[in-house]
Amino acid sequence: MPSPDILLVDDDADIRESLALALELEGYAVATARHGGEAWQQLADGELPGLVLLDLAMPVLDGAKLLSRIRDDARLRALPVVILTAFSSLTAGVTAHAQGCLRKPVDLDAVLAFAAQHCARRRAG
């Protein structure tokens, strides 16, 4: 199975499903994870995506801890990560290790701009 363009990690099913659908309609292959633990397993076991869209507040393994694991792993260190969050303020320590931060509700155009920057688009058909 080819690697996904984007790994979307969010515990909110509505956000995860609607954002994944919007990205797929734009031609991106999207894998999803319900929490950081599930995402970590996908990253450890599979091909790397071009971009990770990462929620911060999640059960099992939160976004900040997952981002720390990604940056500590030699294979994953350079993986582009964009944080998705409803929090009005973040510590510089978290955002300093990401390629960007988008506030929820996310602006689809901003998500698509990050996807275009970091992912090879797949051609339909």
User: Where are any strands of DSSP class E within 5-118?
Assistant: 6-9, 30-33, 51-55, 81-85, 100-103
* Average pLDDT value for residue range 55-77: 90
Q: Is the pTM of this model over 0.75?
A: yes
Q: Is 96 helix (H, G, I), strand (E, B) or coil?
A: coil
Whether 73 shows a pLDDT value over 50: the answer reads yes
d(CA 54, CA 56): 6
d(CA 80, CA 111): 13
Identify whether the C-beta of residue 51 lies closer than 8 Å to the C-beta of residue 114: yes
- The full set of domain ranges for the chain reads 6-118
The yes/no answer on whether domain 6-118 falls in CATH 1.10.340.30 is: no
Neighbour count for residue 96 (Cβ, 10 Å): 9
* pLDDT per residue as tens digits for the range 83-101: 998 876 655 566 777 888 8
